[in-house]
Chains A and B, each alone.
Chain A
Amino acid sequence: MAVSSSPEPDPSRREATPSPAGEHPNMYRYDEFDAAIVNQRVEQFRGQVARRLSGEILEDEFKPLRLQNGVYLQLHAYMLRVAIPYGQLSPRQLTRLSDIADKYDRNYGHFTTRQNIQFNWVALKDIPDVLAELADVEMHAIQTSGNCIRNVTSDHFAGATADEIMDPRPWCEIIRQWSTFHPEFAFLPRKFKIAVTAAEHDRAAIRVHDIGLHMRLRDGVVGFEVHVGGGQGRTPHIAAQVNDFVAEDHLLDYLEAIMRVYNRHGRRDNKYKARIKILVTELGADEFTRQVEAEYAAQTDGEKIALPREEIARIHAYFAPPDFADKPAVSDGFERAKETDPGFARWAKINLHPHKVAGYRSVTISLKPIGGAPGDATGEQMRLVARLAERYGHGDIRVTHAQNLVLPHVALDDLPALYQALADATLATANESLITDMIVCPGLDYCNLANARSIPMGQAVQAVFADPDLQADIGKLHINISGCINACGHHHVGHIGILGVDKKGEEFYQITFGGRADEKARIGDIAGPAMGFDEVPTALKRVVERYRSLRGSPDEPFVETLERIGHAPFKEALYAVD
């Protein structure tokens, strides 16, 4: 049942609102209330750490407190996960992250599949100071872990891409504020992740989130298609659609109804069955939906959030588009550089995304150089990207869920200079969405849950496909690697998934085919028995060769060939003995 609303004259008019003064328009800026909340959180955590160090708080009682501040105990040290709301950063913020990497870590940070950044070597005693440095640039680590509502994620091309019906970031920010320290939902059965997209092609993987929201326009009213119960981990599920249209005025009330049904009825007897996907599955999507609708219908007027339209408009105003110069659709400088520099031409073909404004592109800065640790960036690299964003990118930087960075708004004329600067810092790998652009969890090298190494596996597979011509010929192919069943490397939704398993103390890897995280989301199928570390790269090479010989046309991506002809030929290739 759709939740309707009175139509609003013209939602697109919000775009015309002038953006507030500030060093960078086009992103949310804290007012005195936001600043107070984040600063008070720093002091609260400082007190909690002091009470923990004095023994007043027991470790078991401290654990959820530190988790809800993004502090994990990893294999070797504490890890701090910093929130990057819906993946957007200003140059000043990215520079601050680089300073933290230098000062408190080993000069690098790791960008995550939740569009966040992790520091792997921070001392617990330093964390309150790090949080204070973050608060100073309007950042925090609130609810980046723990059994609460996590950082809301979105399309990394939001506000720039030609294929969105509107910019989803304002609603991401509204959800961020609503979910921050929500008193009712801080101790959920399990963690809870929300993603929002406004583009038909889903780059935010909303169907594998606890709640996935797809923005829709209906009769001039902005609303949301609501998907619930997606997730990966040991029991992967594609979300069920529980409502085809919830008007924006009612979104937060509807989310509260979902959260309350989950908080009250989600399983708490077994942490592996505690995610909302299990509740949706055990009740059935229809019964779950009925319970949500009943809870929503029972809300009294006094319970309604009734977010004022003025507040909705206030938040939208921050995201007013940058002042784009009038540019011709074709740039002579850009065309000339492609003719004279084959490296640039290749990068421009692979790492650029169409922009809604003529003469502009969104640029993917790959953090997947051959042989690197996927998603890692050094302090120097972060500082460079911040400077380049300032100079060429309207001061806007995004983190993608595939662990790359994006400059969403770059003029064609500026691309050759940008490319050169990136190339000098090994940030110009031309592999966006290609076979070497893998999502890889930290694995056994860092994580105390892992069964197997992930990063070295990624590097071994990359090595087999390192030839740029070969990669370009293969085309779009997502390989995702997880070092254990918790699936942080999203192996279930890789076109090819690689899952590390432990067999009597030895690392083995199970291969899946046919997963995808987009609007046609699907969980991959296990191809057969797991294989040893050394066998995987050559086995995948055989699979890819089989694909190249069987694809319907050079433009047919791997995952579509799989869907067209079935998995059998690829399984056969996977296990064929040379």
Chain B
Amino acid sequence: MPLIKQGAEAENPWVFSEDGSGLDTAGPVSVPLAVLQAETDRLLQRNAPVGVRLIPDDDPAALADHLSALSLVEVSFPKYTDGRGYSQAQLLRRRYGYAGELRAVGHVLRDQILYMHRSGFDAFETERADLPNVLNALAEFSAFYQRAADGAQPVFAARRATGA
């Protein structure tokens, strides 16, 4: 599936392992939170990058202690109308300080990508939006009212900066 990362198409070396099998192979592997919790030591001692994939029910606080060891956090959107992933992303970025790749996976559509980006996602695995579309979506607005995880200056701060 196409991966768009930091504004460009990217190779995806990651393998998702639903049950934690295949951890002995060499490449980067991402696992569900439950697998990470059950096999924390084995995973974090691997000689290859480790990632985790959250489902909407998962509490990102459970990752807080492991974030420095993780190279990827995937947040899954089983259906794009389920907005819990936005809160998970904001928490990971802003409360727990996760600085690595934060990838939206699942039902990822062009017209939600700007909200995802603002919530802290920097990678989008999507069948439904090509690169030009994603770049257009990210450029649709020049100003935002909120402080969010993308670091954009909110309008209330920009007003002071411009003396407006």
Contact = CB atoms under 8 A, between A and B. Distances in A.
A44 to B, nearest CB: 5
Given A298-B95, A308-B156, A184 B90 contact: yes
Contacts of A61: 80, 109, 111
B142 A187 contact: no
Given A33-B155, A183-B119, A48 B143 contact: no
Contact of B146 (A44, A178, A189, A311): A178
Interface of B: 80-84, 86-87, 90, 94-95, 109, 111-112, 114-116, 118-119, 140-148, 155-160, 164
A346 B115 CA distance: 54
Interface string A172-212: 00000110111111111100000000000000000000000
22 contacts: A36-B141, A36-B142, A36-B143, A37-B144, A37-B155, A40-B142, A43-B140, A44-B141, A57-B111, A147-B81, A177-B156, A178-B146, A181-B115, A182-B145, A183-B144, A187-B81, A187-B82, A187-B86, A187-B115, A305-B147, A307-B156, A314-B159
B140 A311 contact: no
A181 B95 contact: no
A263 interface: yes
Nearest to A174: B156
A64 B155 contact: no
Given A33-B159, A186-B115, 6 more contacts: A33-B164, A40-B141, A181-B145, A183-B116, A183-B119, A308-B156
B119 A184 contact: yes
Contacts of B94: 300, 302-303
Interface of A: 31-34, 36-37, 40-41, 43-44, 48, 57, 61, 64-65, 147, 177-178, 180-189, 260, 263-264, 268, 298-300, 302-303, 305-308, 310-311, 314
Contacts of B82: 187, 268
B106 to A, nearest CB: 13
A183 B155 CA distance: 14
Contacts of A264: 84, 87
B131 to A, nearest CB: 15
A182 B86 CA distance: 10
Contacts of B81: 64, 147, 187
Contacts of A307: 156
A204 to B, nearest CB: 23
Q: What 10 A-B pairs come out closest when comparing CB atoms?
A: A187-B83, A183-B118, A183-B115, A311-B156, A33-B155, A177-B145, A184-B86, A33-B143, A44-B140, A183-B119
Given A65-B111, A147-B81, A183-B115, A263 B145 contact: no
A147 B112 CA distance: 14
A184 B159 contact: no
B145 to A, nearest CB: 5
Nearest to B120: A183
A300 B159 contact: no
A178 B147 CA distance: 9
A40 B140 contact: yes
A263 B111 contact: no
Contacts of A302: 94
B90 A181 contact: no
B77 to A, nearest CB: 9
A467 B116 CA distance: 58
Contacts of A64: 81
Given A188-B83, A264-B84, A305-B147, A181 B164 contact: no
